[in-house]
Amino acid sequence: MVETLAESVARLASLDREVVAIAWLSLRVSLTAVLVGALAGIPLGALVAVVRFPGRQALVGLLNASMGLPPVIVGLVIYLLLSRSGPLGPLGLLFTPAAMVAAQSVLVTPLIAALTRQIVADAEAHLGDQLRSLRLPPWRRAGLLVFDVRFSLVTAILAAFGRAISEIGAVLVVGGNIDGFTRTMTTAISLETQKGDLALALALGLVLIGLVLLVNAAATILRAYAVRAYG
Amino acid sequence: MDRLRRSLLSLALSAAILGPVAARAEPAAITVASTTSTEQSGLFKYLLPKFTEKTGIAVKVVALGTGQALDVGRRGDADVVFVHDKAAEETFLAEGAGVKRHEVMYNDFVVVGPKADPAGAAGGEVTQALRRIADARAPFVSRGDRSGTHAAELRYWKDAGLDLAAIRGDWYKDVGQGMGPALNTASATNAYLLSDRGTWLSFRNRGDLAVLVQGDKRLFNQYGVMLVNPGKHPQVKAKEGQAFIDWLISPEGQRDIAGYRIEGEQLFFPNAGAGKS
């Protein structure tokens, strides 16, 4: 183990442009999926928190449960949808980065929605009476609450990014791990492990962890800056 | 104003992230469904750039077990299938999923196991090796994934006169994964297994394993290539796919296949035109 680790560090030094390209693709796919997930999940979660309607408890339960959607199942369903023999086949998206974005978006949207709902519901418990006295329509109330908790939502976004960048089940099935085209950090690590090149696999793993740390640090710094500027 | 500026900024950011994914202009590219052995042995990494350089056609390889690769072709999700299980390939053709099968090259299987060889499998024919492994109930790792290698393994048990369903027990580990993971499992548990030579030669985590049986005529492993039927799946890039097939079986492609070596050892032996169906 220690030897492998030492060899990995040596291999890291010789990492070439190929690894940079793979890391960049991973980052692009997961960030895009998180963006889609945030655009869909934040309004959804906020509305579920604010609007009272029959079946709401069931929907909340469903949202919370779907935070645990197995990536490989999501991948399989998207695969069947995007396959040439499937309903969305004519789009020709299977085995492309766009397919990976679609699968990861499906994975992270419920996660963002569920966390947003909880954060917004907590904020509403504090501010609810005042807000209701303004007699605003629900979507306006939801909007105000989201704005109020915007800095807390960063954690939800980071959780979603963590889920997206680290999963392999979905990207492997819908992306196909094509060299130079749909190979991501996780599928590359899996491939090198399969080839028995454990040192290179571990080195790639270190790069992935570094990437996640970097994104989290960037988000934390941005958040602190924003709190000071606008909070 | 401030809010507007921020919205614009986030929009611009989104476009920067989304843009490259959505608007990547595609040069002519074909998708080839192939096997883990051709990918993991490094053959494609060596071979495909030569084809792309000559024709300008990029080749995207999805590496799966032979059974899965043929399924991807059946669904029309690949333009070409390049696999190694003649019986399954002929079924594929008979269903009308493929146009024509061309033999491209062969390599061979080897029986790999612990150097100490507790079952005494080394030396003879593959069928004798399997009988001894079964007699000793020595750990044996099977791909178990409908791959060409898995199909060959099942054939060898049958040829050895053994009924796998009746004799299998804890010693027979069905991992349901590619060649690499199966080799990793065998290496970690000092088990016997059947591997294609290419993946074995490029495999780095060998531990105590060594080749015990090789050279038996039964261990011959033929690769075939087929164009997915454009009559069934109109989006198949028939022209580019056929160009790839033609190149593989051309004297030039065949020479390049023969030129791929690991540690001086040739992995694949071109034999296009030796037998067509």
Residue A44 within any structural domain of the chain: yes
- Put simply, the chain A residues between 152 and 211 with a CB less than 8 A from any chain B CB are 176-179, 181-182, 191, 193-198
C-alpha A183/C-alpha B169 separation (Å) is 38
Residue B13 has pLDDT above 70, yes or no: no
Structure tokens at B177: 């994964």
C-alpha B194/C-alpha B255 separation (Å) is 28
pLDDT of residue B23: 42
Domain containing B203: what range?
Answer: 108-219
Residue A40 within any structural domain of the chain: yes
CB contact under 8 A, B18 and A32: yes
Residue A2 within any structural domain of the chain: no
Pair B103, B152 in one domain: no
Average confidence (pLDDT) over B176-191 = 92
Pair B188, B230 in one domain: no
Task: Check if A140 contacts B (Cβ < 8 Å).
Answer: no
CATH of the domain at B60: 3.40.190.10
pLDDT tens for A44-86 read 999 999 999 999 999 999 999 999 999 999 999 999 999 999 9
How many distinct structural domains can be found in chain A? 1
pLDDT tens for A106-161 read 999 999 999 999 999 999 998 878 887 888 898 999 999 999 999 999 999 999 99
pLDDT of residue B119: 96
Q: Are B108 and B272 in contact (CB under 8 A)?
A: no
Q: Chain B residues with CB inside 8 Å of A101's CB?
A: 21
B43-68: buried (b, 16+ CB within 10 Å) or exposed (e) per residue? bbebbbeebbeeeebbbbbbbbbbbb
How many distinct structural domains can be found in chain B? 2
CATH of the domain at A118: 1.10.3720.10
Pair B231, B99 in one domain: yes
Average confidence (pLDDT) over A24-47 = 97
pTM for the model stands at 0.84
Residue A7 within any structural domain of the chain: no
